[in-house]
Structure 1
Amino acid sequence: MAQANMSQVLSNRAQEVSNATAANPMWDIFSDIWSPSTNPGGYVNVGVAENGLMHDELLKYINTKLDLPAKYLTYNDGGGGSNRLRSVICQFLNRHLHPVTPLEPEQLVITNGVSSAIEHVSWAFADPGEGILLGRPYYGTFIMDLSQRFQSKVVPVNFDGDDPLGPEAAEKYEKALLDFQKKTGRRVKALMLCHPHNPLGRCYPRDVIIELMKLCQKYQIHLVSDEIYALSVWENTIDQHPPPVKFESALSIDPNGIIDPRLVHALWGMSKDFGANGIRLGVIISQHNVDFQNALKGISLYSYPSGISDHLTALILEDANFTKTYIEQNRRKLSDSYAFTANYVKGHGIEYAPGCNAAFFLWVNLGKKYRELHPDVSEDEDLGEKVMQQLLNHRVFLASGALFGSEKSGWFRIVFSHPRDYLEEAMKRIIIALED
């Protein structure tokens, strides 16, 4: 029997994802990572948002504490996380996010990572074809998380040279909302923030969040604040413009007179602040929307966190002394690593977006530098694509601005939260790729 054409076997949506996956170099990069001793020809990956600066300290703690009780081999307290863990996360985030109303366990649903949490938000708030606002540049995987399986429509917000985190932001979001609704006849149902921002590495000022809340109230749409980098805020010692803004959670703003509290939600997880992407543990926080909480419980089977991750996270967060020391040390290391990376690109005449004080990112204009070094390059050539190919040729991976919906070509995101020898190798390869 002749083999069937797979395009006839898979659903259209599955075939589309299959084709995209086959063309994505990430899977090859993950399996071929550089090591100076065992794999010197491998890829240096500074394109994926991972924090490796504190792995030794976290592993040392975990390997002396982990002793798994038998109940974590069962379904325990259900798909939304154990009662113990939800209580521990409440205590931990009440100390660090300073919510107006202290968090309570029934207001939290635990998921197997924040990507699952984002998918749940999309499923719960937007029917197929309805919109979710997302400011540019954005965390690229938001697109897949919000739209790939549940068919909501991401509505990119353009800022036309204005600061995406500045006072003009609300009117830009409103314009995008009205344009989408006029063009499609479908409603916008939510506004998604990444706060602190990925890839810009900055925090939204409190007054800007308030204006966005007012916008959401005006159109009765949900505000979802993804605060996965909430504790990865550090001191910028080398550039102060725009002035760094301290982090203030959306949950710390009193909604009275601003927004219906049922429309405000936040996300957090272990991946970034604790450098533990592999633990796969996220949380959806919705303090005032019982219908949303019940809906999440109903689908929690599909994002059931591992019992091992549940127990391990509770162990870590229960230890207030350890987490305090860990967060302080992590912030010092992030500050130092940012300074090294920013000074390195500055020393090579590469433009970057200054004023960072949060997360792991330096937003750099490699396209501009490439054109300076190669003035014969055609004005019509896509510099982002050209530089991306040069980087891959030299076995270094960065995330291209095109993946982040950048309004200008040639920008890239460098993830600087790596041990110094790894970061130095990455920066050397980036410079060589630009000069080649």
Structure 2
Amino acid sequence: MPRLSRRGQARLDNDVNVPLRFFIPGKYYDTKHNPEGVINMATAENSLMTPELLQHIHSHFHLDPVHLKYRVSLLSGFYPNTEQALRMYINETFHPRELITPEQIVTGPGLGAIFAQFIWHTCEEGEGVVITTPYYDSFARESEYHAQVKLVAAHIPRDVDPLSLAAIKYTSAAIEASNASGTRIRVVILCNPHNPLARVYPKETILAYATLAEKFDLHLLVDEVYGNEVFPSTVVPNPIPFESVLSMDVNSLTDCDPSRIHVLAGPAKDFGVSGLKVGVFVSQQNDDMVKLIRASLGPIPISSASDSIMTAVLNDSKFRTWFLEENRRRLTKAFERVASWCDFHKISYEPASAGVFVLLDLGPFLERLSDVGASDDVKVDNGVRIMLDNGVFLRPTIVAHDQIPTRFRMTFTLPPDTMLLGLRRLEKAFGLRQGWSFHPWRSNL
């Protein structure tokens, strides 16, 4: 066989043949075509508003000849496009202190691709980016694959809230230890609202991270993709409101140079359109970084079909406003259903108030599946295996160095009938008692 590069061979050896806990074997569940397939309750996708969005798309989708040409023709012409629509959308929903200009924002084919390019441009091979535990585990893939950069976990003790000011000293210690060991930290990553803890960072913590970035000469990258999905519930009636770092007077409130601060955002989670691959990068005080990201995304632009769809959605002010409000209302109901299910089965969970998922601790059930003294890895793998055997899958957060290694991230925004079936399959997998119900279970709630 022809040879691979060293990078290619290393990826083949270490990343491609992933263990069971990372993926679902076989074809996924489909109500009509594959009813015996595995229900994926692990991926952060929102189906609560899919029928209404599809109706809007089908009645507004339109392609002009310019959409069939290279993207530069669309951006350089007179047609509405996502470059304009997303800038307006972020300005209206994130309330930046200064309106974002065309020179400060870049659109790209999903946040993963944008993140990977950002890391490539800010870190040398072998350097590091730091993030507190637990974290969104795909950050590791997107740091390590393209840029050959190490994701350094700042381990937060179990009795410390990772979103609090108390976590700062552990992040600082992780940076110092990594620098001393030879892996120079160049970026600190925040995910606000947090993935997977499903909560908003307090403003004072975000400002403290800006100060930390200045202290260690770092970039501060804030992923705000769930910013428009903060919701109240009977469990968390008054969640911390989301404040974009773009809305904060960082220059006056901290010693941080604002050119260090960058934001990832976009409509993928707000509208449940991850498959359209539309995201944005914003940096209001760092022209060089914006130019670099824009140039690096040139070979991998947004599809013009996706551009047309999202431009029509975002430019329809009445529909957009209704959609976001109704989505938050449905998120409330969907989370309360799962909270009710957890309470019924006495399952410990992290009270969620942002995003589309909730963390569950399945430790007591995993204990029953494993031998006495089994490691956390064995317990988790046993849990994943029995879930798959019963046609359902949750993502274990042990892959993201969770302080509680027996927790799993459950997406609660599947179509209602599929969500209910997934919960029933989990009951069967772990031998949970029957009898839970939550009414009404209808798609419009």
* TM-score scaled by length of structure 1: 0.92
How many Å separate the matches in 2 of 1:300 and 1:47? Answer: 29
1:285 aligns with 2:288: no
Partner of 1:412: 408
Q: Which residue of 2 aligns with 1:13?
A: 7
Q: 1:431 aligns with which of 417, 427, 437?
A: 427
Aligned ranges 1:204-353 → 2 under 5 Å:
204-239=201-236, 244-257=239-252, 258=254, 259-353=256-350
Moved more, 198-207 or 32-41: 32-41
1:397 match? 393
Deviations 1:173-213 (CA, angstroms, capped at 9, x unpaired): 111100100111x4211111111111111010111101111
The separation in 2 between residues aligned to 1:290 and 1:115, in whole angstroms, is 21
How far off is 1:301 after superposition?
1.9
Q: 1:156 to 1:27 in 2, by over 3 A?
A: closer
CA distance in 2, matches of 1:80, 1:378: 62
Contact 2:366 2:382 in 1 (8 A): no
Check conservation: 1:227, 1:249, Cα contact below 8 A. Answer: yes
Amino acid at match of 1:226: D
Paired with 2:141 and 2:11, the residues of 1 have a C-alpha distance of 10
Say which SS state the counterpart of residue 96 (structure 1) adopts. Answer: helix
Identical positions, percent: 29
What displacement does 1:393 show?
A: 1.5
Match of 1:429, as an amino acid? R
2:83 maps to 1:86? yes
- 8 A contact 1:81–1:110 mirrored in 2: no
**CA distance in structure 2 between the partners assigned to 1:278 and 1:84 by the alignment:** 18
Q: State how far apart, in whole Å, the 1-side matches of 2:417 and 2:90 are.
A: 34
The reply to whether residue 52 of structure 1 matches residue 50 of structure 2 is: no
The 5 A counterparts of 1:129-278 are 129-161=126-158, 162-184=160-182, 186-239=183-236, 244-257=239-252, 258=254, 259-278=256-275
Q: Which residue of structure 1 aligns with residue 68 of structure 2? A: 73
CA contact (8 A) 2:66 2:74 kept: no
Q: Deviations over 1:297-346 (max 9, x none)?
A: 32122331111112221111111111100001111111101000111012
- Partner of residue 115, structure 1: 112
In structure 1, how many angstroms separate the alpha carbons of the residues matched to 2:213 and 2:224? 18
Deviates more, 1:289-298 or 1:106-115: 289-298
SS in structure 2 of the partner of residue 321 of structure 1: helix
Q: Distance in 1 between matches of 2:67 and 2:73?
A: 11
Alpha-carbon spacing, 1:81–1:207, altered in 2? closer, same or farther (3 Å):
farther
- Structure 1 residues 322-373: Cα deviation after superposition (integer angstroms, max 9, x where no partner): 110000111111110100011101211111112x2100111011123332x5
Asked whether the 8 Å contact 1:79–1:301 carries over to 2, the reply is no
Find 1:368's aligned residue among 364, 376, 379.
364
Partners of 1:423 and 1:26 lie apart in 2 by 21
Alignment partner of 1:40 out of 26, 35, 39: 35
Q: Indicate how the Cα distance of structure 1 residues 106 and 79 shifts in structure 2: closer, same or farther if over 3 A, else same.
A: farther
Please say if residues 21 and 396 of structure 2, whose CA atoms lie closer than 8 Å, have aligned partners that are also in contact: no
In the alignment of these two chains, the number of paired residues is 424
SS at match of 1:149: helix
Question: In the alignment, is the contact (CA less than 8 A) between 2:163 and 2:202 conserved in 1?
Answer: yes
Query: 1:26 offset after TM fit, Å?
Result: 8.9
Distance 1:255 1:290 in 2: 18
Superposition map of 1:91-106 within 5 A:
91-106=88-103
Deviations 1:218-273 (A, max 9, x none): 12211111111111111122246xx6211111111112232211011101122211
d(CA) in 2 for partners of 1:327 and 1:53? 11
- State the AA in 1 paired with 2:399: L
SS of 1:313 mapped into structure 2 = helix
SS in 2 for 1:9: coil
Alpha-carbon distance in structure 1 between the residues aligned to 2:76 and 2:144: 25
The alpha-carbon deviation at position 80 of structure 1 amounts to 8.7
Instruction: Compute the displacement of 1:28 (Å).
Output: 7.7
State the AA in 2 paired with 1:430: L
1:58 partner amino acid:
L
Q: Which amino acid aligns with 2:338?
A: T
For 2:374, the equivalent position in structure 1 comes to 380
- 1:324 aligned partner, one-letter code: T
Deviation at 1:30, TM superposition (A): 7.8
2:74 aligned with 1:63: no
1: CA distance between counterparts of 2:25 and 2:87?
34
Once the 2 structures are TM-superposed, how far is the Cα of residue 97 of structure 1 from its aligned partner? 0.2
Question: What SS class does the counterpart of residue 267 from structure 1 fall into?
Answer: strand
**CA distance 1:304–1:57, change in 2 (3 Å):** same
> CA-to-partner distance for each residue in 1:122-166, whole Å, 9 max, x for gaps?
011111111111111111111011221111111101111210101
Distance across 2 between alignment mates of 1:378 and 1:78? 65
Q: State the shift of 1:93 in Å.
A: 1.1
Q: 1:206 to 1:348 in 2, by over 3 A?
A: same
Distance verdict in 2 for CA 1:187–1:29, change over 3 Å: closer
Amino acid at match of 1:177: I
Q: Is contact 2:114-2:293 (8 Å) kept?
A: no
Give deviations 1:261-288, integer Å, cap 9, x for gaps: 1011101122211100111111110111
1:407–1:40 CA distance, 2 compared to 1 (3 A): same
Where 1:155 maps in the other structure, the secondary structure is strand
